[in-house]
Amino acid sequence: MINQTQDELIEEFGLFDDWADKYEYLIDLGKKLLPMSESFKTEDNVIKGCQSKVWLHAEKQGDLVVFQADSEAIIVKGMISMLIRVLSNHTPEEIIKADLYFIDQIGMSQHLAQTRSNGLVAMVKQMKNYAVAFSAIA
Partner 1 sequence: MAEKLDLNLIRKDFPILDQQVNGSPLVYFDNAATTQKPQVVIDALNRYYTQDNANIHRGLHTLAERATTGYELTRTKLKDFLHAPSTDQIIFTSGTTAGINLVAQTYGRANFTAGDVILVSNLEHHSNIVPWQMIAQETGAEVQVIPVDELGVLDMVAYQSLLTDRVKLVAVNHVSNAIGTINPIKQMIDWAHRVGAKVLIDGAQSVAHFDIDVQALDLDFFVFSAHKLFGPTGVGVLFGKRELLETMPPYQGGGEMIKEVSFSGTTYNELPYKFEAGTPNIADVYAFGFALDYLASLPKNAVWEQEKALLDYATEQLSQIDGLRIVGQAPEKIAVVSFVIDGVHPQDIGVLLDKFGVAIRTGHHCAQPLMARYDLVGTCRASFAFYNTKEEIDLFVKALKRCLMMLS
Q: What is the DSSP string of 60-115?
A: EETTEEEEEEEESSHHHHHHHHHHHHHHTTB-HHHHHH---THHHHSS-HHHHHHH
Work out whether 93 is an interface residue with partner 1 (CB under 8 A).
Answer: no
Whether residue 50 lies in the annotated active site: yes
Work out whether 47 is an interface residue with partner 1 (CB under 8 A).
Answer: no
Bridge partner list, 71:
54
Write the DSSP symbol of residue 46: B
Work out whether 49 is an interface residue with partner 1 (CB under 8 A).
Answer: no
Work out whether 24 is an interface residue with partner 1 (CB under 8 A).
Answer: yes
Work out whether 32 is an interface residue with partner 1 (CB under 8 A).
Answer: no
Work out whether 59 is an interface residue with partner 1 (CB under 8 A).
Answer: no
Catalytic entry in 29, 47, 50, 80? 50
The answer to whether 71 touches 80, Cβ cutoff 8 Å, is yes
Best CA proximity match to 59, nearest among 92, 24, 18: 92
In the three-class reduction of DSSP (H, G, I as helix; E, B as strand; rest coil), residue 58 is classed as strand
Work out whether 42 is an interface residue with partner 1 (CB under 8 A).
Answer: no
Query: Which residues from 107-136 bind partner 1, rule CB under 8 A?
Result: 111, 114-115, 118
Interface with partner 1 (CB under 8 A), residue from 73, 100, 120, 131: 73
Enumerate binding residues for partner 1 (CB under 8 A): 19-20, 23-24, 27, 51-53, 72-76, 111, 114-115, 118
> Which positions are annotated as active-site residues?
50
